[in-house]
Chains A and B, each alone.
Chain A
């Protein structure tokens, strides 16, 4: 065969894959959205929702009587309370805008608490202030207690959100990366030009799969290394299993991208379909908050979405150290999407 004597570099599959990688690599926006955006997102969310001990509680005492100064002095003995004496209108404004969590009012020999019980800091403030006042008034605790403080890695918000971001990123780069490239080539009639050559069609489609996998190593690796080093996000499961979950997910999302790109002739047409596929998953699939928050009635739909299965599998692996066997139901859902989307996409694919 003439083929066997050719250098590997001259083979259609190698050339097509190189073209795919060059097209991504030479597009600065693609680099940003695929590689840097998830890292920035993880960084931002990690900072915004970092776990810390509940901080200083801010308290206002209504001004205008000797009681005010006396009460303020008693409270200041507690280092976790920050006390200011304010008049009626100033205290009301401070409470309304959240600058204080509670206002103390004199109430003929006793004390009145004014706070918003729908705000977590309101309830915390009430019990802290009450403790401080009761103790200074001579209350003794009936039961002795000791405290053991545990701050568990894996239960923080950043630990929850990093697997979600990874899943969302695999979805986005699969659907956008594959979908736009195919539709663009069809729009430019490059697809038609390619099938006018003896190029094997399987080689064209395989080049997308191979380049996706090459990029996957970088995009997943970068996000996970960042999350582990900067935020100490745990990787409790085996890394091989994690890699396999990412691989299967990436292929399934690539199939979804191929299905979306199978027929549209314009970028606009494809964008509409992509939004139709992506937006429900961003909302329902538990990227930023648990998908179990949705009502029972929609759970069958939520659980059938590929991103839900991917996020659940990633979290089970990273946070709970689950084995592949333990995430088999999720893997089955992902595999079903992989097979289903590829079969339909190849059947309806429009080359011209």
Chain B
């Protein structure tokens, strides 16, 4: 089976802003592929080029084995798309909106089936204007589902939602994956990428800076754990050399007044840290450890946090 999406040396510049700067990607059929990166990294431009909505300045684009110049309308029949921030007409009902989108496809899924899939059956006659943020996002996903597509492009499907609505959408997207469909999604939530994506490309400044399964990417840090602590007013500040000398410590950084130590073994690093602090007579205000995440990978690669943009 050919790859679902192939991008080679993709480039796009808006006026003087370079949005995509030589990006390469290959999405395999049946996988859920995530583009993870901060706002402005070029994720949306990349996915809109894949969707045929934006024309790249240079580079090669293949979607489901076709390109947009020759594929056109027949390719659109095979894609399900959810854009960032689409507002559907508020005066229409949920069912009317879905009927409209169904009418564009040759072999759409039955209305009832889609309403059930996104749990909007009860709201079928409710006006779109009355829906909550989570319900609107589920409607947006439903408009992609009616096409019964082979390939989904979802641009920030959960941005701005409360945790509960986000989990609901995650379950829906997992349902799509189980049905064997290919999904490409963008996100700046590392939990979302870790939970949904088989493979993740970390994107920054229009380039892929890391690619792999979430597990591989975290493992590439070499550190399985992160020890995070905060101390009270210290006469003698702690310097990086002190922390790198701790048992198991690999690297260190500070963030918002906290010290972070990436470590191979938290159970050896933490006791070493505590004896260092008591030897110096420094008061410990806060101590946490967590398993390393994609966020740590991003910070490690760029020195910035995902949410900072």
- Answer whether residue A23 sits at the interface, using C-beta atoms and an 8 A cutoff: yes
User: Using a CB–CB distance below 8 Å, which chain A residues touch chain B?
Assistant: 2-3, 10-12, 14-16, 18-19, 22-23, 26-27, 185, 188-190, 192-193, 195-199, 352
Bitwise, B86-127 to A at CB < 8 A (1) or not (0) is: 111101100010011111111100000000000000000000
Closest to A14 in B: B103
The reply to whether A189 and B100 contact each other, CB–CB distance below 8 Å, is: no
Residues of A with C-beta under 8 A to B81: 193, 196-197
Closest to A185 in B: B89
Contact partner of B100 (CB less than 8 A), chosen from A16, A27, A192, A198, is A16
The reply to whether B87 and A199 contact each other, CB–CB distance below 8 Å, is: no
Closest to A2 in B: B106
The reply to whether B51 and A197 contact each other, CB–CB distance below 8 Å, is: no
Q: Given contact pairs A10-B99, A189-B83, enumerate 14 new A-B contacts (beta carbons under 8 Å).
A: A2-B107, A10-B102, A10-B103, A22-B91, A22-B96, A188-B86, A188-B87, A189-B85, A190-B86, A193-B143, A196-B51, A198-B105, A198-B106, A199-B104
A–B pairs, 21, beta carbons within 8 Å = A11-B103, A12-B104, A15-B99, A15-B100, A19-B89, A19-B100, A22-B96, A23-B89, A26-B91, A188-B86, A189-B83, A190-B86, A190-B88, A190-B89, A192-B83, A193-B86, A196-B53, A196-B81, A196-B83, A197-B76, A197-B101
- Answer whether residue B289 sits at the interface, using C-beta atoms and an 8 A cutoff: no
The reply to whether A23 and B103 contact each other, CB–CB distance below 8 Å, is: no
A254–B154 Cα gap in the complex (Å)?
35
Total number of residue pairs linking A and B with CB closer than 8 Å: 70
Closest to A3 in B: B106
The reply to whether B73 and A198 contact each other, CB–CB distance below 8 Å, is: yes
- Answer whether residue B77 sits at the interface, using C-beta atoms and an 8 A cutoff: yes
Residues of B with C-beta under 8 A to A16: 100, 103
A2–B85 Cα gap in the complex (Å)?
33
Least Cβ–Cβ distance between A202 and chain B, in angstroms? 12
Least Cβ–Cβ distance between A6 and chain B, in angstroms? 9
Residues of B with C-beta under 8 A to A199: 104
- Answer whether residue B223 sits at the interface, using C-beta atoms and an 8 A cutoff: no
Least Cβ–Cβ distance between B24 and chain A, in angstroms? 24
Least Cβ–Cβ distance between B124 and chain A, in angstroms? 15
A18–B158 Cα gap in the complex (Å)?
31
Closest to B85 in A: A189
Q: Which of B85, B86, B106 has the most CB of A within 10 A?
A: B86
A15–B107 Cα gap in the complex (Å)?
16
A81–B91 Cα gap in the complex (Å)?
62
Residues of B with C-beta under 8 A to A198: 73, 76-77, 104-106
A10–B101 Cα gap in the complex (Å)?
10
Q: Which of B48-81 contact A (CB under 8 A)?
A: 51-53, 73, 76-77, 79, 81
A16–B102 Cα gap in the complex (Å)?
11
Residues of A with C-beta under 8 A to B76: 196-198
Residues of A with C-beta under 8 A to B89: 19, 23, 185, 190
A183–B88 Cα gap in the complex (Å)?
14
The reply to whether B53 and A192 contact each other, CB–CB distance below 8 Å, is: yes
Residues of A with C-beta under 8 A to B53: 192, 195-196, 352
Closest 5 CB pairs of A and B: A188-B87, A15-B103, A198-B76, A26-B91, A197-B104
A199–B100 Cα gap in the complex (Å)?
10
Residues of A with C-beta under 8 A to B84: 189
A107–B52 Cα gap in the complex (Å)?
94
Residues of B with C-beta under 8 A to A192: 53, 83, 86
A18–B102 Cα gap in the complex (Å)?
14
Least Cβ–Cβ distance between A188 and chain B, in angstroms? 4
Least Cβ–Cβ distance between B81 and chain A, in angstroms? 5
The reply to whether A23 and B91 contact each other, CB–CB distance below 8 Å, is: yes
Closest to A195 in B: B53
A199–B81 Cα gap in the complex (Å)?
13
Closest to B52 in A: A196
Least Cβ–Cβ distance between B111 and chain A, in angstroms? 10
Residues of B with C-beta under 8 A to A189: 83-87
Residues of B with C-beta under 8 A to A12: 103-104
Residues of A with C-beta under 8 A to B107: 2
Q: Which of A22, A27, A197 has the most CB of B within 10 A?
A: A197
The reply to whether B87 and A27 contact each other, CB–CB distance below 8 Å, is: no
Least Cβ–Cβ distance between A71 and chain B, in angstroms? 71
Least Cβ–Cβ distance between A3 and chain B, in angstroms? 7
Residues of B with C-beta under 8 A to A23: 89, 91-92
Least Cβ–Cβ distance between B59 and chain A, in angstroms? 20
- Answer whether residue B147 sits at the interface, using C-beta atoms and an 8 A cutoff: yes
Closest to B100 in A: A15
Residues of B with C-beta under 8 A to A2: 106-107
Closest to B93 in A: A22
Residues of A with C-beta under 8 A to B92: 19, 22-23
A236–B90 Cα gap in the complex (Å)?
44
Closest to B79 in A: A196
A189–B101 Cα gap in the complex (Å)?
15
Contact partner of A27 (CB less than 8 A), chosen from B73, B88, B91, B96, is B91
Least Cβ–Cβ distance between A203 and chain B, in angstroms? 9
Q: Which of A12, A23, A196 has the most CB of B within 10 A?
A: A196
The reply to whether B83 and A193 contact each other, CB–CB distance below 8 Å, is: yes
Residues of A with C-beta under 8 A to B105: 197-198
A189–B51 Cα gap in the complex (Å)?
15
Least Cβ–Cβ distance between B308 and chain A, in angstroms? 26
Residues of A with C-beta under 8 A to B143: 193
A337–B274 Cα gap in the complex (Å)?
83
The reply to whether B91 and A190 contact each other, CB–CB distance below 8 Å, is: no
A193–B141 Cα gap in the complex (Å)?
12
Residues of B with C-beta under 8 A to A14: 103
Residues of A with C-beta under 8 A to B103: 10-12, 14-16
Least Cβ–Cβ distance between A5 and chain B, in angstroms? 10
Residues of B with C-beta under 8 A to A196: 51-53, 76, 79, 81, 83
